[in-house]
Structure 1
Amino acid sequence: MKKLFSLLILVLMLPLQACAQEMYKEGEHFEVINDKATDKAEVLEFFSFWCPHCHAFEPLVAQMKQKLDKDVSFEKVHVNFMNFAKTETQDEATKAMMVGRALKREDALNKAIFNYIHVQRSPVTSLKDLENIFIINGVDSGEFEKLASSFGVNSMVSKNNKAIEQYRSHLTGVPTFIVNGKYKAKFTREMGPDDMVDLIVWLSKQK
């Protein structure tokens, strides 16, 4: 009886799996940009603090993180080629993000930077402006400056910029999601927020 029940469940699940495979089509919902996937499952979100679409996407990013399997890493990569600010200023924002990452407060401090730019409509012109945002949000000035000049943070900045170089030809806009180093997600007009989240989760399971 138990074997029969298990077989029935398996038969019922097969059509669901087939539907998922038919739902997302190469060329329409994703592009294959590499022959081989990364050894470990990962999602890279290429974004800019100055991008209004990236700001609007933040709630979806939070949902993605919740829905992804625990063994899937999710990492933001801050780009420096937007026209909204000088390249040097965008690089400073990358460094500030890495300070937040080192403090294990990245999500909250990223939100503070987004709000400063898009809600308060305040300009960011230097690392000092970013430091002030962090201070307002409870980060000690001395700790910020120490981390900003540290080897660890500068190494994370270098890793961030190497990822930009690696995938630059595929970054036609932001936010852009590269999954498992092999797939670039494509969001169609027909897709709702839940569909976008589910696409990223589905791609993370592909090899």
Structure 2
Amino acid sequence: MFKTARFRLTTLLCGLVLTSACSAAGADTSAKPPFTDGNEYVTLPAPYQRDSSSGKIEVVEVFSYACIHCAEFSPYADQLRKDLPPGVEFKLVPAPFNDSWVPFARAYYAAKKLGVLEKTHDVLFQKKFLDQYPINSPDEIANFYAGEGVNKDDFMKAFNSPETDAQIKKDLALIQSWGVDGTPTIVVDGKYRSNNIKDFPQLVALTKWLVQQELSAKGK
């Protein structure tokens, strides 16, 4: 059973998403898509305004360091990033859905600005959820990064910068436009959003399948 963190902008509701796996009829040998629009994924109605001019297909994981299910998905996401074909790029968007999650979104952009994101991304999940370190408040988050060799004053400056404020506001608008209400959620090229997923391997398989649909549509 696939767990997600769910919320409605100001209220965080962690719970279970109960879904049923698609099963093919035993006597039906016709080729059917392995995933169904409206079930495992949804096609988004509004076009996505790309930030990137690379021309690559974008796979975006909407996540939070406050979400234990994102921590559980992290090894799958790391492998997915490695498995994506040329012409596809993997991105992260931190979900700033409520007051308790905003500091973690700020931490993501501070780490990115200071060039320590790759080094600290999985470690933060491990410290918070596996080792059960108290990492919740801005000061506790800053202490975590200091323990990873980051200057605390530099971190807090980036954490509280106007650039970080603007990016979080932009992220919230984007995530709302996608209709994301749980983490981890995958959005492929701003066109398709994961929906009713039973487990992490299915989410990975769905992502790869949607990527192939986009590559085929673009003649790549």
Q: Please tell me the TM-score bracket, short chain as reference.
A: 0.7 to 0.9
Counterpart residue number, 2:94: 78
| 3-state secondary structure, aligned to 1:89 | coil
* Cα offset, 1:157, TM superposition: 2.5
Aligned pair partner of 2:209 in 193, 198, 202: 202
| 1:64-121 Cα shifts (integer Å, max 9, x gaps) | 111223433322222233xxxxx33311111111011112322332223212321122
Structure 2 counterpart of 1:175, which letter?
P
Structure number with bigger Rg = 1
Counterpart residue number, 2:21: none
| 3-state secondary structure, aligned to 2:173 | helix
Unaligned runs of 5+ in 2: 1-29
Q: 1:89 to 1:124 in 2, by over 3 A?
A: farther
Question: Greater CA deviation, 171-180 or 146-155?
Answer: 146-155
| 3-state secondary structure, aligned to 1:22 | coil
Counterpart residue number, 1:59: 75
For this pair of structures, how many residues does the alignment match?
A: 180
CA distance in 2: counterparts of 1:197 and 1:111, whole angstroms = 18
Structure 1 counterpart of 2:100, which letter?
T
Q: 1:125 to 1:138 in 2, by over 3 A?
A: same
Q: CA RMSD in A?
A: 2.7
| 3-state secondary structure, aligned to 1:73 | strand
CA distance in 2: counterparts of 1:192 and 1:160, whole angstroms = 24
CA distance in 2: counterparts of 1:171 and 1:146, whole angstroms = 29
Query: What is the percentage of aligned positions where both structures have the same residue?
Result: 23
**Contact 2:81–2:90, Cα closer than 8 Å, also in 1:** yes
1:33 partnered with 2:49: no
Counterpart residue number, 2:194: 185
TM-score of the two chains, using structure 2 as the length reference: 0.69
* Cα offset, 1:38, TM superposition: 6.0
Q: 1:192 to 1:165 in 2, by over 3 A?
A: closer
Question: Greater CA deviation, 110-119 or 59-68?
Answer: 110-119
TM-score of the two chains, using structure 1 as the length reference: 0.73
- Greater fraction of residues in strand: 2
CA distance in 2: counterparts of 1:43 and 1:160, whole angstroms = 15
Question: Greater CA deviation, 143-152 or 91-100?
Answer: 143-152
Q: 1:70 to 1:145 in 2, by over 3 A?
A: farther
CA distance in 1: counterparts of 2:94 and 2:59, whole angstroms = 14
Unaligned runs of 5+ in 1: 1-17, 82-86
Structure 1 counterpart of 2:63, which letter?
F
Counterpart residue number, 2:9: none
* Cα offset, 1:35, TM superposition: 5.8
CA distance in 2: counterparts of 1:90 and 1:186, whole angstroms = 22
Q: 1:192 to 1:151 in 2, by over 3 A?
A: closer
Counterpart residue number, 2:13: none
1:138 partnered with 2:145: no
